[in-house]
Structures are given as structure tokens and as C-alpha cells.
Amino acid sequence: MKKVKIINGLIITPYRIIKNGTLLINGNKIESISEVDIEAQDYHVIDAKGNYVSPGFIDIHIHGGGGHDFMDATEEAYLKIAEIHATYGTTAMAPTTLTCSKADLLKAIELYKSADIKNTSGAQFIGLHLEGPYFALSQSGAQDTRYIRNPDVEEYKEVIAYGDVIKRWSVAPELPGAIEMGKYLKSQGIIAAVAHTDAIYEEVLEAVENGYTLATHLYSAMSGVTRRDTYRYAGVIESAFLIDAMDVEIIADGIHLPPPLLKLVCKIKGPDRIALITDAMRGAGMPEGDSILGNKDTGMKVTIENGVAIMADRSSFAGSVATTDRLVRTMVQMADIPLVEAVRMMSRTPATIMGIENTKGTLTVGKDADVLIFDENINIKTTIINGKIVYSSADFT
């Protein structure tokens, strides 16, 4: 569609909800937003029927979905993941790796580049997120311990030089060489994030002073209050709360973080510092049962049950099977967060963290036409990406 006119919607803007509003899309940009009908010729009209019209959801930490994982190392995996998540409201995503060899990291960069060109019917790619392999073994979680290692300056510089598609890198900041890596990531315009770590407050503070700005999946695979030689120390969780400059991301599926913790994070950090993430693995959008985390041939066996993926030995979660609509629904219905704030944490805040807030994240004239229509239960009715209708539910025409 070149021109689209959405009428009779509850339009969620950065500042308010416009009742019975009209939104015009011309090409791939938002052309106009109004409280009244706008005369427009030759536009494809979509009647929102009183449903919400929202900015597209932006997922800055995602591994897979629809039976595919980015570590499968195929173009098909990249494209299918983008397509399946678009049906749940994701209009932009940061494909995320797992701990792996240098060769696999380089392969991920190659595939990102080639798949990005062909991705015309799924959530847009907004940069590659490398999760590991520089982690604390004690906080490996579902990461494959065979590949966990300390930062290697020659290795990470080679990986970064291989392509300009890396936009964030998650690292344990207490490891030898991690502070120097943070400085280098910042110099290259790459977000340095704290993850899978046993750091204490003093180490996190030093990391923030040297480029680290984000806490990866807060509460998951990171230290809280700990004892060392009888003395208590604040961990990464407390550090993220104390350091105002730190952004956080949370897996808001209601399982990784139950409602009381979701409420606590929101109370302390506020919606402008919180990005909702799925951290979804291949089981997202799939039936429950046995699955694989990571590469389909060499990854770890996991089980999906009760809306979450669990390690085979049941020692920890193995990523989520959430979709972005579920995250917003959980925040509203289980954590009692106002819809406008929940949507902000799924759109505007992640866009700001990723540095793309000038083009994405809000329904604003001149920005990319990434638009959703969903009902009061956050069931996605229509997904529009860059002005193109990529999904419309069977019960909504």
C-alpha cells in the first residue's frame, strides 16, 4: 500500500490517547494524525472499529520463534523469525546470538547482512545483539559453558571490524579486559550491556563510567546482594536501581519476573528507563513440548511448559517463549501498569536505547509508519511495517 488511512481508532501518541482519531500513512512515513476525519483521496481505508492504534513494538533482545533460532545460521531462520513475530506486533527487532565460537559470530554477521536485504515481510532488523561469549561461568544460565571465555581484544576487534551491523554487546563487566572492551565498544558506537555477571556495585559503577549503559534481562543471570568475607555487597540488580544513568530490560512474561518484581522495577526505574524484551527462543509461537535452545543441530535440549522454556535438568529457565503482545498484556493485566506506559516500554524506550528514536518508537508525523491495531486485551489485529500491511487477523478486515 502506498497510502493508508486509519479511522475510528484510539490513537496512542507520546502524550495522550486520541479517541476516534484518524492517522494517514503516505509511503513509509506517518503523514498526519488528527482528532477528526481527514479528507484524503486514493487512500486505502482501515476502520479500527474503536480498537487501539499504537506504535509498533520494538524487541531489542530476541533469539528466535516459529521453530527457528538465529543460531541456526540460515537466512530462512532470520526471515521466518521476523515474519512470525510481526504477527504478534513486533515491527523491529535486534537479532541476538548466544555464546559461541568466533567463527559462528562471523557467520551471524554474514547472515544478518544477507537476510536484512531480503526481509520485506517481517519485523525490521535494527542491528545485531551479541549476547556473550564473555560471561561469568557462575552466571551462565542457559548459555553453553563450552564457549564462555574472557574478553579477547584481538577477537572482539576482528568481529566488530567484520561488519558494521553490531549495535550492542552483552558482557560481564568484572572479567579481565571487560572495562577496556567497554571503552572500545563506546568508541565504535556500540551499546555495552551488563549481563551474566557476578559483579558488585563498585565494579558496575566502574563499568558505567567506561561505557556500559544497559542491564541485560534484569534479575536473570546476575548478582544481587552477596557476602564476601562476612561483608555484604550490592550486586548488579541493586546497582541498576541505584545508578540513574543505567537503562534496564526485563523479560515481562510474568514468569521470569512475577508481578511484584515487575511492579518494583517500574516503581524504581520508570517507563523511560525500561525496555520490555521477549528473550524469545525458537519455541515462541509454537506448541509446548521438547525444543532446542540455540542451533537446531548442536544446541541444548529444553522443555517448553506452562508458558516458559526450562533446561532439561530443570536448573533454570532457558529463555522465554513470549511475544511482544504478551509482554504488554502482562504489564497491564498482571502488573497494573497503565497501557500508555506499557506501550512506551515496548516502543519509545527501546527505540531510545538503540538510538533510533528519531525514526521509530512513537506515532509522530514524519516517523516510520510502524503501526499496530490491537484490542483491549492486546490481541493484534493489524501490523503495518514501513507503511506496508504485513499482517491482518482473520477476524479483522
Q: Is 393 helix (H, G, I), strand (E, B) or coil?
A: coil
Residue 85 marked in a binding site: no
Omega before 133 within 30 of 0, i.e. cis: yes
Catalytic residue among 279, 325, 368, 370: 279
Sign of the four-CA dihedral 15, 376, 282, 99: positive
Distance CA(135)–CA(221), nearest Å, equals 10
Interatomic CA distance for residues 261 and 254, integer angstroms: 9
48, 7 contact by CB (below 8 A) = yes
Please name which of 38, 131, 117, 127 lies closest in space to residue 360, comparing C-alpha atoms.
127
Active site residue 279: yes
Q: What residue type is 241 in one-letter code? A: F
Cell of 122: 517481517
- Residue 269 is inside which H or E element, if any? helix 259-269
Is 203 assigned a ligand-binding role in the annotation? no
Given a contact cutoff of 8 angstroms between Cβ atoms, the answer to whether 182 and 210 are in contact is: yes
Bridge pairing between strands 212-215 and 191-194: parallel
Determine how β-strand 300-305 pairs with β-strand 90-95. Answer: unpaired
- 89 vs 93: CA distance, rounded Å: 11
Ligand-binding site membership of 131 (annotated): yes
Give the annotated binding-site residues for Zn(2+).
Answer: 131, 196, 217
Q: Which residues are annotated as catalytic?
A: 279
Give the annotated binding-site residues.
Answer: 131, 196, 217
